[in-house]
């Protein structure tokens, strides 16, 4: 942020350089502002330089320069209206100051203002005590938007907003230790569009777009409606990520033919041109507006506006690169037939680009894509994984830590390089007929040595069969004549906790049918990213119960608490309590996390891919 005085000094320097082709001296700046102290001006100039607004060569006269990012983005002044609570609501304090920020932080339309944040209720969204948020003034919001909300016409708070079916609004904190606020009376005063913690953080945001993308790409991102971009899966990959991926590709060949089949504004081809030796570059995109921008960004590439999924340029290219679109859609009959070997249930368009990419490659060619890591283990991508195994080898796979890489999108991201050759088993883990991809496949193979699984032990896993919000009329906190409903809250690491009464999610259900113990119940969602844990507890023999849909139920092969392993040399008996303890183990959670890549554990993964130790 800039103070009013520093904004004035920066504007003066920019104007002086424009008129004279060189910068003013410190003495000239001081004289212009009627200041006698040269040291005061020096302090302001140093602050502008450290903030990324000015560049200056040390020990040389008249070498102040306006920083490239500042030249590019321009600056705009917006009001700083005061302090807002990211905690319990407080009365807004209107200080009526102003701050100066780059224009490209707020886009082209709408009014904006800034607020200082007090409290840590939104800390998991990166909004900390002392942060500054930029707010777009608006009176409406979508479910899940982070908003400035006015309560009771006098209290203001910063939360995610959700409209509940009962007419209430839920203001949800991004902090597991804090409870949501429910209210019927709510006025939206704006939506959060930017967050920065301090001056250095702002400097990074100022410089990021100018260094990661061409000017034309940034202009397109800022001017184009985000809903339009989402409808075509248009998410632009920053230069640093492109370089990280492209640097994994060999570059000894002269004049390689390189295709980006969803080229957007041509950013990937710009990076490819620098990496390869005299490459022949080709770019396609279904959006003609993007193709026109790409032609201006990189003039020596050949671009076409076409539907890449219908293209048949098989075995022509040495490299297929890029960030294919990512969204689910309902394929036409023609697309279903063409991509039958990789479509399995829901269809995500990026998987079809992987299929096409391997078809377009010459034998021995490389595909390098930015994709979501859900393809590594998701059930809907099982056919895609089989196709990749049958037609290529994984040369490189890396999941990026930051889910906020893409402009106005929150998406986990993975870099993958495939070589069109015989599969060597790299990054591949197989067990019980299931194949998954993992950065730590070798680690998983090691950890599964001398282990068994629930499937091997003839245990079965089922997902809880009652969806509570579809059966609210059947729920009650009256235990008499009713069946215990097992929620995740009932499962502790030591035992089953019953009852745990809750008005909104009652403990019992009015149903005649039920499951009967013995069994193990385990939570399906292993907490948040920062506090992951699996909890399992034993349902006693003979106990009637029904599990809620967010709980998995593990049934033994017989109704006996102990199980004879038969031909096992050690002839050990595993109790349900033994297995439940292993399911709750932090060590085993680390293993399953490397399999699933997230905090959710499906029944299939529990049954087939959870390692069970049999003590000798």
Show which residues are catalytic. 121, 159
DSSP-H helix ranges across 463-599: 576-583, 586-596
Q: Give the number of other CB atoms < 10 A from CB of residue 410.
A: 10
How many other C-beta atoms are found inside a 10 Å radius of the C-beta of residue 5? 12
Q: Where are the beta strands (DSSP E) in 90-244?
A: 90-91, 97-102, 112-118, 132-136, 146-151, 155-163, 169-172, 181-183, 187-196
Instruction: Tell me which H or E stretch contains 512.
Output: none
267: three-class secondary structure by DSSP: helix
- Crossing angle, helix 382-391 and helix 349-360, to 10 degrees? 10
Contact of 357 with 261, CB cutoff 8 Å? yes
∠42-43-48 over CA atoms, to 5°? 95
Q: Give the whole-angstrom CA distance, residue 374 versus residue 20.
A: 56
SS3 346: coil
Q: Quick one: tokens of 434?
A: 């299931």
Q: Where are the beta strands (DSSP E) in 438-572?
A: 460-463, 475-476, 483-486, 508-509, 515-516, 519-523, 536-539, 544-547, 551-555, 562-564
Q: What is the 3 state secondary structure string of 475-495? A: EECCCCCCEEEECHHHECCCC
Q: What Å distances lie between residue 494 and 73, 334, 491, CA to CA? A: 57, 54, 8
CA distances from 4 to 11, 32, 83, 315 (A): 11, 16, 19, 61
């Amino acid at each position: 942020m800039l103070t009013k005085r520093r904004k004035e000094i920066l504007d003066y320097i920019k104007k002086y350089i424009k008129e004279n082709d060189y910068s003013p001296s410190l003495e000239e700046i001081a004289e212009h502002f009627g200041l006698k102290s040269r040291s005061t001006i020096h302090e302001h100039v140093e602050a502008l330089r450290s903030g990324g607004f000015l560049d200056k060569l040390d020990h040389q006269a008249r070498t102040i320069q306006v920083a490239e990012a500042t030249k590019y983005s321009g600056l705009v002044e917006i009001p700083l209206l005061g302090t807002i609570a990211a905690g319990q609501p407080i009365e807004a304090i209107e200080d009526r100051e102003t701050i100066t920020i780059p224009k490209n932080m707020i886009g082209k339309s709408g009014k904006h203002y800034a607020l200082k944040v007090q409290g840590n209720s939104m800390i998991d969204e990166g909004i900390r005590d002392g942060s500054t948020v930029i707010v777009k003034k608006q009176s409406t919001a979508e479910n899940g938007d982070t908003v400035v909300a006015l309560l009771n016409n006098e209290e203001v708070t910063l939360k995610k907003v959700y409209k509940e079916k009962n007419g209430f609004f839920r203001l949800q904190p991004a902090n597991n230790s804090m409870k949501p606020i429910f209210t019927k009376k709510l006025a939206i005063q704006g939506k959060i569009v930017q967050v920065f913690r301090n001056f250095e953080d702002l400097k990074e945001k100022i410089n990021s777009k100018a260094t990661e993308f061409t000017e034309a790409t940034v202009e397109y991102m800022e001017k184009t409606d985000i809903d339009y971009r989402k409808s075509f899966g248009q998410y632009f990959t920053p230069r640093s990520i492109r370089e990280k991926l492209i640097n994994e590709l060999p570059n000894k060949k002269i004049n390689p033919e390189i295709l980006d089949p969803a080229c957007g504004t041509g950013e990937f081809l710009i990076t490819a041109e620098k990496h390869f030796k005299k490459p022949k570059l080709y770019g396609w995109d279904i959006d003609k507006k993007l193709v026109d921008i790409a032609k201006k960004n990189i003039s020596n590439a050949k671009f076409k506006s076409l539907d890449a999924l219908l293209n048949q340029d098989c075995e022509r290219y040495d490299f297929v690169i890029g960030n294919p679109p990512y969204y689910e859609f309902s394929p036409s009959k023609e697309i279903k037939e063409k991509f039958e070997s990789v479509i399995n249930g829901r269809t995500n368009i990026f998987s079809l680009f992987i299929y096409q990419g391997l078809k377009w490659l010459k034998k021995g060619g490389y595909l390098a894509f930015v994709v979501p890591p859900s393809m590594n283990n998701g059930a809907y991508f099982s056919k895609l994984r089989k196709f990749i195994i049958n037609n290529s080898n994984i040369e490189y796979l890396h999941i990026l830590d930051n889910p906020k890489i893409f402009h106005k999108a929150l998406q986990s991201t993975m870099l993958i390089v495939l070589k069109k050759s015989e599969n060597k088993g790299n990054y591949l883990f197989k067990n019980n007929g299931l194949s998954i991809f993992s950065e730590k496949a070798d680690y998983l193979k090691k950890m599964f040595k001398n282990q068994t699984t629930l499937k091997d032990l003839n245990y079965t896993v089922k997902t809880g069969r009652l969806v509570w919000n579809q059966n609210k009329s059947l729920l009650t906190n009256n235990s008499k004549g009713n069946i215990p409903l097992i929620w995740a809250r009932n499962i502790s690491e030591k035992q089953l906790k019953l009852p745990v009464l809750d008005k909104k999610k009652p403990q019992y259900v009015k149903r005649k049918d039920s499951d009967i113990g013995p069994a193990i119940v385990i939570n399906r969602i292993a907490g948040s990213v920062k506090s992951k844990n699996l909890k399992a507890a034993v349902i006693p023999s003979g106990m009637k119960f029904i599990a809620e849909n967010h709980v998995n139920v593990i049934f033994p092969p017989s109704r006996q608490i102990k199980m004879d392993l038969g031909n096992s040399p050690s002839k050990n008996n595993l109790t349900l309590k033994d297995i439940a303890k292993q399911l709750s183990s932090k060590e085993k959670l680390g293993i399953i996390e490397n399999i699933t890549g997230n905090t959710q554990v499906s029944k299939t993964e529990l049954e087939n891919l959870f390692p069970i130790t049999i003590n000798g």
